[in-house]
């Protein structure tokens, strides 16, 4: 089945289901009506008000059951693009109900579509194990069992969805997993039961700073990532082998004398995303959505330059992308001239930074010889071996010089690059222009119960393990610990390999098995800093601080782990159990996130 047939089958299937069927609603714009969100990131965003006021659906749609295929953009995982599944632009297939039907119908419809329409076998499903005011979802578990699914798994916070933005409907979910062409289980469909309204963001809910209120009706909100589904149905090893990407990838491969697979995937994804963003009348700028578009296009141009693609390569890409999508989104053909004009103008602006990047090479060489040290009030070099990240950012901000290109130039000249400075400057810029689409979780424990305390100590071991395995440049940039799992955000310039993740797990578990003492000492702040105790990013500390040590300490305060921390912790690592990494992902440029559990 090709992409067009699967889209058609999905819409027709739900058009005939439930009382009076589902009304087919076209995709909304990538510019959401919700002012707290940069882009439309989920199928349900345009329907948020109807979960609170279901009567409005009767008026607007002539019923309470709808189906749609929604265009979405997410940039939180942009560093992951180029692997088998991650994308910035994607389509989300979804069916929605605002009190029209319940869990039994929603689960049964999904089961029938996957197994009968698509001919896929379900590997396993999940359901919410319950917490606080939200009960364990035994109803979903029982429905799946009646349908003949044997592998039904209870999970925690990761199967409670939402809200999007600063507040909104949310609730427990049930996820459906199928095997891909590699034999791996991948999440195909997520069915959300919007039973609650949250008066704060998801970050606040996780931190215990927001509350849940039961909604008068049950809302159904489902989402199925189209590209991932397509790879599974078409038995492809990654999304770039599907019919949505294959023609683009083939063109790049045939026309690049310096072909590199990951770069080709980044060009394919980013340019496709840029085309759809431009269709919604967004143009490149240094603020808001235009800033995101500019970054996408300039990354495309940078990768194309490295791969030596012919000039105006993007004109052919527009033609190919139009051919792939014109049957589904007719506006792509109608706006082709506008797309060409926007990209052409941005390319002109990009050509000057290419010259500017060569000037940067001369700056570095001159600074190394001591001929010049600063340009304006910013040093070119941080030290004799390290290029200043702030100088790179200033060139990007002032002249539009591509950061990736300047970083490559510095490294080819054998300089290290202070990427922390770049990331800090970019973050400040994004906050000022309201373009930060990734929320950083700030430190803290959800509570002080036994499970949370154990995970808190495991968190300290994990940070020490990351430093031991990945390198001393790892720095914590955020944390969140509940009784179900720990989460750490940390500086790292690459996605951890499977080997690195295993080494980290093994390191932590070896220290747990060793039965190391955990001790607390009150120290003068200057002494704690001088011995290298880890500090929370951005925190201010008093003159006397608490430092927790794991393992034996000598007269110089050497230990396996030492951190500024108010506690509480266990007294010995042998109380923790076994540590396991659940997930490792990107949350921003140069910042990774790990979720872990004790089992």
In a domain, 443, yes or no: no
- On whether residue 348 sits in a domain, the answer given is yes
Confidence check: pLDDT of 442 > 50: no
In a domain, 239, yes or no: no
* Residue 283 within any structural domain of the chain: yes
Residue 297 has pLDDT above 80, yes or no: yes
Q: Is this model's pTM higher than 0.85 or not? A: no
pLDDT for the residue 18: 74
pLDDT value of position 438: 35
Most confident residue range from 71-75, 104-108, 292-296, 584-588:
104-108
Note whether 550 and 524 are same-domain residues: yes
Q: Is the dihedral of CA 558, 561, 567, 569 positive or negative?
A: negative
pLDDT of the residue at 366: 72
Query: Is residue 587 pLDDT above 80, yes or no?
Result: no
The confidence score (pLDDT) of residue 364 equals: 85
φ/ψ (deg, to 5) at 556:
-100, 10
Q: Return the pLDDT at 45.
A: 82
168: buried, middle or exposed (CB in 10 Å: 19+, 13-18, 0-12)?
A: buried
Total domains in the chain come to: 3
Asked if the model's pLDDT at residue 561 lies above 60, the reply is: yes
Claim to verify: residue 93 and residue 200 sit in the same structural domain: yes
- Contact between 107 and 174 under an 8 Å Cβ cutoff? The reply is yes
CATH at 107: 3.30.930.10
Residues 249 and 217 in one domain: no
- Final residue before a domain boundary, out of 399, 432, 465: 432
Spatial distance between the Cα atoms of 357 and 340, rounded to a whole number of angstroms: 25
Task: Tell me if 480 is assigned to some domain.
Answer: yes
Pairing of strands 23-25, 65-73: parallel
**Domain boundary at 402, 432, 462, which?**
432
Residues 545-556 pLDDT 10s? 889 999 987 766
Phi/psi of residue 236, each to 5°? -100, 150
Q: Same domain for 470 and 587? A: yes
Q: Do 197 and 252 fall into the same domain?
A: no
C-alpha distances out from residue 90 to 126, 230, 268, 437, 506, Å: 24, 12, 12, 16, 36
The region, left, alpha or beta by phi > 0 then psi within -120 to 50, assigned to residue 222 is beta
Max CA distance (Å), the chain: 78
In-domain check, residue 48: yes
Q: Are residues 134 and 8 in the same domain?
A: yes
396 within some domain: yes
End-of-domain residue from the set 206, 233, 260: 233
Host domain of residue 468: 450-598
Closest C-alpha to 37, from 26, 25, 27, 45: 45
Give mean pLDDT, residues 258-287.
92
Asked if the structure places residue 359 within a domain, the reply is: yes
Residues 332 and 379 in one domain: yes
- Whether the Cβ atoms of residue 402 and residue 357 lie closer than 8 Å to each other: yes
Q: Looking at the structure, tell me whether residues 199 and 283 fall in a common domain.
A: no
**Which residue reads 């995101």 in tokens?**
292
Query: Is the Cα torsion angle 157, 158, 163, 164 positive or negative in sign?
Result: positive
360 plus 470 within the same structural domain: no
Interval 185-199 mean pLDDT: 94
Number of Cβ atoms within 10 Å of the Cβ of 580 = 13
Name the range with the highest mean pLDDT among 263-272, 527-536, 563-572. 263-272
Q: Is 420 exposed, middle or buried (0-12, 13-18, 19+ CB in 10 A)?
A: middle
pLDDT digits (tens, 9 = 90+) for 133-175: 899 999 999 999 999 999 999 998 889 988 877 888 999 999 9
Tens-digit pLDDT profile for residues 303-358: 898 888 998 899 999 999 999 999 999 999 999 999 999 999 888 877 655 556 66
φ and ψ at residue 175, rounded to 5 degrees: -110, 150
Q: What is the rounded CA–CA span in Å between residue 278 and residue 435?
A: 17
* Averaged pLDDT score across all residues of the chain: 88
Same-domain check for residues 44 and 7: yes
Instruction: Tell whether 161 and 225 lie within a shared domain.
Output: yes
- Tens-place pLDDT, residues 469-499: 998 888 888 888 988 899 998 888 788 999 9
Element (H, E) at 266: helix 261-279
If asked whether residues 106 and 204 sit together in one domain, one would say yes
User: What is the CATH number for 572?
Assistant: 3.30.980.10
């Amino acid at each position: 089945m090709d992409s067009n047939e699967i889209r058609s089958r999905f819409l027709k299937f739900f058009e005939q289901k439930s009382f009076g069927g589902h009304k087919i609603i076209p995709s909304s714009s990538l510019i959401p009506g919700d002012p707290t969100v940069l882009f439309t990131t989920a199928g349900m965003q345009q329907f948020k008000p109807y979960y609170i006021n279901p009567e409005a659906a009767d008026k607007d749609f002539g019923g309470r059951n709808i189906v749609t295929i929604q265009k979405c953009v997410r940039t939180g995982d942009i560093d992951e693009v180029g692997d088998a599944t991650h994308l910035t632009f994607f389509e989300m297939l979804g069916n929605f109900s605002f009190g029209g039907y319940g869990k039994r119908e929603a689960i049964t419809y999904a089961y029938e579509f996957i197994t009968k329409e698509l001919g896929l076998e379900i590997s396993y499903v999940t359901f919410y194990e319950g917490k606080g005011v939200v009960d364990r979802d035994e109803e979903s578990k029982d429905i799946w069992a009646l349908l003949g699914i044997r592998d039904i798994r209870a999970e925690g916070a990761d199967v409670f969805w939402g809200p999007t933005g600063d507040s909104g409907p949310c609730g427990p979910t049930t996820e459906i997993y199928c095997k891909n062409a590699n034999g791996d289980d991948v999440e195909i469909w997520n069915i959300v039961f919007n039973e609650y309204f949250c008066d704060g963001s998801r970050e606040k809910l996780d931190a215990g700073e927001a509350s849940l209120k039961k909604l008068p009706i049950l809302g159904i909100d489902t989402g199925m990532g189209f590209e991932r589904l397509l790879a599974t149905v078409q038995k492809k090893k990654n999304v770039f082998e599907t019919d949505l990407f294959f023609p683009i990838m083939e063109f790049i491969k045939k026309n690049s004398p310096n072909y590199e697979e990951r770069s080709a995937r980044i060009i394919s994804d980013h340019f496709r995303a840029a085309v759809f963003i431009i269709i919604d009348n967004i143009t490149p700028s240094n603020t808001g959505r235009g800033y995101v578009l500019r970054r996408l296009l300039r990354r495309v141009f940078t990768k194309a330059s490295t791969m030596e693609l012919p000039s105006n390569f993007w004109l052919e890409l527009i033609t190919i992308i139009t051919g792939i999508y014109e049957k589904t989104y007719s506006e792509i053909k109608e706006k082709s001239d506008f797309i060409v004009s926007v990209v052409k103008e941005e390319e002109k602006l990009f050509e000057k930074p290419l010259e500017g990047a060569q000037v940067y090479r001369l700056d570095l060489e001159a600074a190394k010889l001591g001929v010049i040290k600063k340009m304006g009030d910013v040093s070119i070099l941080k030290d004799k071996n390290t290029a200043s990240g702030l100088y790179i950012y200033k060139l990007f901000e002032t002249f539009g010089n591509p950061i990736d290109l300047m970083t490559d130039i510095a490294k080819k000249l054998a300089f290290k690059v202070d990427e922390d400075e770049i990331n800090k400057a970019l973050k400040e810029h994004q906050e000022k222009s309201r373009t930060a689409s990734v929320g950083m979780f700030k430190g803290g424990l959800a509570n002080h119960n036994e499970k949370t305390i154990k995970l808190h100590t495991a968190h300290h071991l994990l940070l020490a393990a990351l430093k031991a395995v990945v390198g001393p440049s790892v720095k914590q940039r955020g944390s969140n610990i509940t009784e179900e799992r720990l989460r750490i955000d940390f500086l790292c310039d690459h996605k951890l390999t499977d080997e690195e993740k295993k080494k980290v797990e093994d390191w932590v578990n070896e220290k747990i098995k060793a039965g190391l003492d955990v001790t607390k000492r009150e120290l003068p702040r200057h002494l704690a800093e001088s011995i290298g105790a880890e500090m929370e990013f951005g925190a201010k500390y008093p003159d006397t601080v608490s430092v927790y040590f794991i393992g034996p300490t000598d007269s110089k305060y050497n230990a396996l782990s030492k951190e500024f921390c108010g506690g509480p912790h266990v007294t010995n690592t042998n109380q923790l159990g076994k540590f396991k990494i659940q997930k490792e992902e990107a949350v921003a440029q140069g910042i990774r996130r790990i979720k872990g559990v004790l089992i």
